[in-house]
Structure 1
Amino acid sequence: MNKLISIITPLYNSERFIESTIKSVISQSYKNWEMIVVDDCSTDKGADRVNKYSQKDHRIKLIRLPQNSGGALARNKAIEEAKGKYIAFLDSDDLWHPEKLEKQVKFMEENNYDFTYTWYEKMDEDGNLINEIVKSKDKMDYSELLKSNQIGCLTAIYNQKKLGKIYMPLIKKRQDYALWLQVLKKTKYGYCLKENLAQYRLVNGSVSSNKINLIKFNWKLFYEIEKLGLIKSSYYLMWNIFTKLFLKR
């Protein structure tokens, strides 16, 4: 079980949260990892905080982009530099439970799965849990995922040794959703480890918290990135809206 895991972390003005995120990685029971933090020209001191840890722990790597380019390019730069068999994702304001990597890699190795995700819970901006656990479906294929993105970015891992390095399209939001769809073109299913192993932070004013904007970004994903055409794009957009409004995960 000594497989290297590359952790992909984009950083932009997350000085308040990044140290907690790094500590949740350092605290992992699974120790064979590298954490690649890509700073997208932050205007706060978040990158300095990362640098403090990288000087003490060689597994933590800081890359600074020359100009602000967005989360997709920052993640892609980290994927480009990744050396691990597995690619995992953790944003700069989210947290992992200590056994997250150990349990998920064991789940993948024992079942020969190339793409997996887990349940996660939500917390407010100050880190207080709000008693909501997001429970994804047991497994999902490409068509099922088009209806609703039930894969939390902070929980996903794919096998890059088997599938190759898969990158995010350069769109403002929904890059993770787009990436999962690309992964599911290379492997038939993504599988859920049905345990709560991560904490997702709800940050006030984030684009992901604006549901109207998400409709726009989903349309762009279906119509322009996936090139599904007018009818199919409309169909899957309605599925997404229906799922958000009426179905609980």
Structure 2
Amino acid sequence: MPEVSIITPCYNSAIFLEETIQSVLNQKFKNWEWLITDDHSSDHSVEIIRKINDPRIILTVSENNGGAGHARNLSLEKATGRFITFLDADDFWEPNFLEEMVSFMKKENAELAYSNYARCDEKLLPKIADFTADKEVTFQNLLKTCRLSLLSSMYDSKRVGKEYFPAGSKREDHVMWLNLLKKIPVGKPLKKTMAKYRMHESSVSRKKTNIMKDQYLVYKDYMHFSVLKSWYYTANWAINGFMKYSKIFN
């Protein structure tokens, strides 16, 4: 049984996919399985994945486009590893990522951990300052800003169970992390930069004004907060999001 399960949704990612694949194959830590769900791509992503001759890679091809959260859930259902981690099909890990994260989880007896990551342009060149894992994460402080990024986080499914992504939310990663942190007291920071996140100019996640309503629904529909409490946390999230990505603060 593999010690780590890597979960990846893939949708029309052929332009970046080979770099992402190589970053996984280059990992110093070898005891992993990689569950990739292609979300009905129309490019040649599936062909690229199928060319890899590695039995640790398990490909699922979805007959319909259900979104990244749904694709991750399909992979999570098949995951058998103790430690769950995520890597989107256009992101990148340094060779020491899995080794350092697993070692840190065991040393700190952590149920959830996250690391720094570099924020890069589409060519993986630095764009703004690295995101820093500078504090312990709790349910309460994650309400105001989502410090946990999928590509630089890991949790122990043996201790906390698998946490699936909610259907219907465009902020499914934030909801998933909040639900996970309802079950554990704290996520611990590993202050090393071992991953690279591509900041696409068209990225929905960075257009804060376009997803204010979606973020509000995280609190109102998924956390079941009152209207006033939901708007309070939405306002905090918006301010923190501006500071997180603005070059003024980076």
Task: State the TM-score bracket (shorter-chain normalisation).
Answer: over 0.9
Name 1:129's counterpart in structure 2: 126
The aligned length equals: 246
Retained in 2: the 8 A contact 1:123–1:202?
Answer: yes
Q: What value does the CA root-mean-square deviation take over the aligned residues?
A: 1.5
Give the letter for the 1:154 counterpart. L
Give the letter for the 1:216 counterpart. K
Matched, 1:102 2:99: yes
Instruction: Choose from 174, 179, 189 the match for 2:176.
Output: 179
The 5 A counterparts of 1:64-83 are 64-83=61-80
CA drift of 1:108 comes to 0.6
Give the letter for the 1:71 counterpart. A
Instruction: Choose from 126, 149, 167 the match for 2:164.
Output: 167
TM-score, structure 1 length as denominator?
0.94
In structure 2, distance between residues paired with 1:245 and 1:93: 23
Give the letter for the 1:4 counterpart. E
CA drift of 1:224 comes to 1.0
CA drift of 1:148 comes to 0.5
Matched, 1:12 2:5: no
Retained in 2: the 8 A contact 1:6–1:33?
Answer: yes
Once structures 1 and 2 are overlaid, which stretch shifts more, 127-136 or 219-228? 127-136
Gaps of 5+ in 2: none
The 5 A counterparts of 1:13-92 are 13-53=12-52, 56-92=53-89
Retained in 2: the 8 A contact 1:124–1:203?
Answer: yes
Matched, 1:119 2:116: yes
CA drift of 1:153 comes to 1.3
Once structures 1 and 2 are overlaid, which stretch shifts more, 128-137 or 61-70? 128-137
In structure 2, distance between residues paired with 1:83 and 1:224: 31
In structure 2, distance between residues paired with 1:20 and 1:192: 26
Retained in 1: the 8 A contact 2:169–2:218?
Answer: no
Change (3 A) 1:25 1:246: closer
TM-score, structure 2 length as denominator?
0.94
In structure 2, distance between residues paired with 1:228 and 1:153: 25
Give the letter for the 2:107 counterpart. E
Instruction: Choose from 142, 145, 160 the match for 1:145.
Output: 142
Secondary structure of the 2:19 match is: helix
Name 1:193's counterpart in structure 2: 190
Give the letter for the 1:80 counterpart. E
Retained in 2: the 8 A contact 1:137–1:150?
Answer: no
In structure 2, distance between residues paired with 1:47 and 1:216: 34
Matched, 1:217 2:206: no
Percent of aligned positions with the same letter in both sequences? 36
Retained in 2: the 8 A contact 1:138–1:193?
Answer: no
